[in-house]
Structure 1
């Protein structure tokens, strides 16, 4: 490993194994932080920029499987000082300097989770495929003392923000990484993988990153097909406006896809035209949002449903099979795993469900995303 212009250049395939959470909503990375080493499970989120974990003392926190990180017991932990006042690390993440408590941060997320605590630096250890280790010092991470989440599966200890800005872990590690995801409902699949640096997998079709505004990875969604039929959708509904509204992002931290109404309504209408004659509609809401749902089972009733293709600029497609397009919400109800983007300012979000069975590689300096449908096990051969 070398350093260049303040960033680490990782020549190995350094990274972390990923596992689905208990609820089948997200993928978690197993990371090691501090000295002595403390293992933590953090949600992989390409739409936020800060790595944070719950720390002692924890005033309002969620239960988690790993032991809480104890910063006072780590010899490599160091709070970011507030001299001079208003250091860049604080202001860049919306934090502030407190004379008593140091450099503080407070973040909120789309699901209304709010987290706050101290900004600090610390040692982080990644593994390699040959059982080696790569150790780096994180310039900025969040040691959270309050975590007001709406829900919790009592498993994860924080979030691994992989969005891009000047203090993000992604920037510090050279702006290259790849994520390969299998089935979000299969906790026994051992090949899900996050890889940083020169070992990141850049294979498959390429689509440009059109913006990293707010740390998001914006891409261009040109259209949607159901089977061989391309839906009649104005591609402008998926584009980032001059005022910064809308657009299409890749986000592993969001479970289902959300879609601008201009694309959602034609897609919903097409799905209804296929299913309404064979399955019975039922009312069901997720997170307060009414979904398109039916009585039935995905494996039994949707075996002949056509693939849905998201056509990205440059000829890259993300193809959704039934397990990416639909979600079995209980034993008798299935829902289209796409929601209208009414609560995220018309933004289209390609979430974790849509990225199952894909390796997605991010080469940020080159402004490219690589998309390849693959069994992640094949990347290890």
Structure 2
């Protein structure tokens, strides 16, 4: 607690010259962002301080994620933040943060005291009230967010402020594609603990309460083409008026938390109309969450789904095994022979059916991942909550997903993301 107090007092002392009011700068109507695979060579390598090496293991952020590469401040400092539709805040680690376990090699951590475009937000500011439910204040009267919880105990806390963000270009070397956005609300993290993936240094929140979304209006879309290939170059996020709205629609229930809830009506496995407990007692609430890679089904649904997947694969001549974490696995690699031949004629293994007739069809790559042990395993898990099914990145591959927050509709379209690339 003493170190947190020191952090806030230090910022208040060093940032006095950067908290004056600024003229309003119109924000762009839209922004196109090329998403970066978490294992891509461009992502800096990190080391973990020895004192922080023994953290509880977690599977929530296991598997690939998609990063948004941008620069913050002036002079600009490069960031890699997770695109997360389940979070309502954009935040990055700041210099002096307590218990940060990620440190970049050969790369500076953002220091707000060195930025001429940093502006603090006071506790009585409406933006502070919106983000920090209790309107919490630092000892110097600056707004801060406290214990913004993520999966399984992960958290971040720090000051709320505004900064200049620089994005692009999406085509290398084209300066005209660089977009500078002033006055973006963000969290300057003074404490980020137990975040399982050491490759990122922040979260790019896209929930309905995020000021990132409101800065560009009320629309956004993303296309997830392939997360099995770290060099795939067409994963795309579009913020604002240019968002792609095509395909089938299903209503969005936007909660006070900002999360986007969908109504999952039923699930089928295989090409038959074998419905999994369509009138059962399991919760039908679901969210599309880009902050995790797996599919997390409420327990009753998960149990039946796993049983039917085993039967479906047995019909193809594939017998299951389990790994040390009791995941359902199969011998071989689903992209090579002989397994590839057994799956060649299978386009859809399972489908998630939402209200209004929108379907999310799941291919082999949407459900399974290849391991380095000569097996491929099902990336479907029992949900960490009994109230909601969480649909991660893997299940969203080959889909463009559009969010119309005014119309409260989600658009789903199976398509090749390269066709959307400008």
**Distance in 2 between the 1:138 and 1:256 partners?**
34
Classify the secondary structure of the residue corresponding to 2:33. Answer: strand
Classify the secondary structure of the residue corresponding to 2:95. Answer: coil
Classify the secondary structure of the residue corresponding to 1:298. Answer: coil
Match of 1:243 in 2: none
Length-normalised TM-score, structure 1: 0.85
**Distance in 2 between the 1:161 and 1:111 partners?**
18
Q: Does 1:185 align with 2:228?
A: yes
Match of 1:249 in 2: 287
Q: Does 1:18 align with 2:35?
A: yes
Give per-residue Cα distances to partners, 1:303-333, cap 9 Å, x unaligned.
2455122122222221111011112233323
Q: Is the alpha carbon distance of 1:199 and 1:111 closer, same or farther for their aligned partners in structure 2, counting shifts above 3 Å?
A: same
**Distance in 1 between the 2:313 and 2:25 partners?**
51
Structure with greater strand percent: 1
Written as runs of structure 1 = structure 2, the 5 A alignment for 1:70-149 is 70-83=111-124, 87-89=128-130, 91-92=132-133, 96-100=136-140, 102-105=142-145, 106-127=147-168, 131-149=176-194
Classify the secondary structure of the residue corresponding to 2:132. Answer: helix
Is the 2:28–2:181 contact (alpha carbons within 8 Å) kept by the matching residues of 1? no
Cα deviation for residue 128 of structure 1 reads 6.9
Give per-residue Cα distances to partners, 1:14-54, cap 9 Å, x unaligned.
13210111274211111222112222111000011100111
Is the 1:10–1:198 contact (alpha carbons within 8 Å) kept by the matching residues of 2? no
Match of 1:28 in 2: 67
Is the 1:16–1:31 contact (alpha carbons within 8 Å) kept by the matching residues of 2? no
Give per-residue Cα distances to partners, 1:258-306, cap 9 Å, x unaligned.
11223222221111113347444333355xxx42223332224262455
**Distance in 1 between the 2:92 and 2:260 partners?**
23
Match of 2:334 in 1: 298
Written as runs of structure 1 = structure 2, the 5 A alignment for 1:301-316 is 301=339, 303-304=343-344, 305=346, 307=348, 308-316=350-358
Cα deviation for residue 248 of structure 1 reads 0.5
Cα deviation for residue 229 of structure 1 reads 1.8
Is the 2:119–2:162 contact (alpha carbons within 8 Å) kept by the matching residues of 1? yes
**Distance in 1 between the 2:70 and 2:244 partners?**
20
Q: Does 1:43 align with 2:82?
A: yes
Alignment RMSD (CA, Å): 2.8
Match of 1:350 in 2: 391
Q: Is the alpha carbon distance of 1:83 and 1:380 closer, same or farther for their aligned partners in structure 2, counting shifts above 3 Å?
A: closer
Q: Is the alpha carbon distance of 1:373 and 1:48 closer, same or farther for their aligned partners in structure 2, counting shifts above 3 Å?
A: same
Cα deviation for residue 177 of structure 1 reads 0.7
Is the 1:104–1:119 contact (alpha carbons within 8 Å) kept by the matching residues of 2? yes
Is the 1:116–1:147 contact (alpha carbons within 8 Å) kept by the matching residues of 2? yes
Length-normalised TM-score, structure 2: 0.78
Q: Which has the larger radius of gyration?
A: 2
- Segment of structure 1 superposing worse, 135-144 or 35-44: 135-144
Of residues 215, 219, 224, the one that matches 1:172 is: 215
Structure 2 residue runs without a partner (length 5+): 1-23, 40-61
Cα deviation for residue 179 of structure 1 reads 0.7
Q: Is the alpha carbon distance of 1:133 and 1:338 closer, same or farther for their aligned partners in structure 2, counting shifts above 3 Å?
A: same
Classify the secondary structure of the residue corresponding to 1:270. Answer: helix
Is the 2:268–2:352 contact (alpha carbons within 8 Å) kept by the matching residues of 1? yes
The count of residues paired between Structure 1 and Structure 2 equals 363
Cα deviation for residue 238 of structure 1 reads 8.6
**Distance in 2 between the 1:78 and 1:189 partners?**
37
Give per-residue Cα distances to partners, 1:181-225, cap 9 Å, x unaligned.
121122222211111111111112111112334221111222222
Is the 2:160–2:185 contact (alpha carbons within 8 Å) kept by the matching residues of 1? yes
**Distance in 2 between the 1:346 and 1:330 partners?**
34
Cα deviation for residue 95 of structure 1 reads 6.4
Q: Is the alpha carbon distance of 1:183 and 1:213 closer, same or farther for their aligned partners in structure 2, counting shifts above 3 Å?
A: same
Written as runs of structure 1 = structure 2, the 5 A alignment for 1:208-357 is 208-235=251-278, 247-276=285-314, 278-284=317-323, 290-299=326-335, 300=337, 301=339, 303-304=343-344, 305=346, 307=348, 308-341=350-383, 343-357=384-398
Of residues 177, 192, 200, the one that matches 1:156 is: 200
